[in-house]
């Protein structure tokens, strides 16, 4: 891939991560477990703690990816190989964590993705504010996943061939 394509993808991912970090951070700063328990009658406190834990992990990965994008984009001249490595890592940390978080508090129903409906399914009933947050983020994660799927195979192939 040419430098301009990789640079464009890196800028696109940077903008996406900036929006994602803001949305998740705002939610985490404004929401408490107690608030979620009041929001959802009969809610499971332990499950809500797991949801928060996964959301915190996701925002950390996204912040790290955002910082890496900014560093790569500020380098002169633009280093294509470094950008590809960053995009590969973002695919494997941010995107993977969104669709398959540690602990499986939610998961991706791959059949739903083809129907235009939200593909994130929860193991238990989440509070509506949490479900709404993930629903609002899902289309962006789908788009970026499609953009970065190339790096899943291409970057790994380059690494194997260089050995």
For 24-39, the DSSP string reads HHHHHHH--HHHHHHH
Backbone angles phi and psi of 99, in degrees to 5: -85, -20
pLDDT at position 112: 65
Widest distance between CA atoms in the chain: 56
Which residues in the chain land under pLDDT 50?
A: none
pLDDT at position 119: 86
Question: What CATH number labels 3-156?
Answer: 1.20.120
Ordered by start, the domain boundaries in the chain are 3-156
Exposed, middle or buried, 67 (CB in 10 Å: 0-12/13-18/19+)? middle
pLDDT at position 41: 85
Question: Tokens for 154?
Answer: 């291409």
Backbone angles phi and psi of 56, in degrees to 5: -65, -45
pLDDT at position 109: 85
pLDDT at position 139: 92
Question: Tokens for 66?
Answer: 């955002």
pLDDT at position 96: 93
Helix (H) or strand (E) holding 80: helix 80-90
- Quick count: other Cβ atoms within 10 Å of Cβ 82? 15
């Amino acid at each position: 891939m040419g430098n301009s394509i990789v640079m464009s993808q890196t800028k696109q991912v940077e903008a996406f991560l900036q929006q994602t970090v803001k949305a998740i951070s705002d939610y985490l700063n404004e929401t408490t477990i107690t608030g979620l328990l009041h929001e959802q009658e009969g809610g499971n406190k332990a499950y809500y703690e797991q949801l928060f834990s996964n959301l915190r992990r996701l925002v950390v990965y996204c912040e790290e990816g955002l910082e890496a994008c900014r560093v790569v984009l500020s380098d002169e001249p633009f280093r294509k190989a470094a950008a590809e490595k960053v995009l590969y890592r973002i695919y494997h940390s941010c995107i993977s964590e969104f669709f398959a978080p540690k602990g499986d508090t939610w998961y991706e129903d791959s059949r739903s993705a083809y129907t235009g409906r939200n593909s994130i399914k929860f193991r238990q009933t989440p509070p509506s504010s949490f479900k709404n947050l993930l629903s609002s983020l899902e289309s962006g994660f789908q788009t970026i996943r499609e953009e970065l799927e190339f790096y899943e195979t291409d970057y790994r192939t380059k690494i194997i061939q260089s050995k």
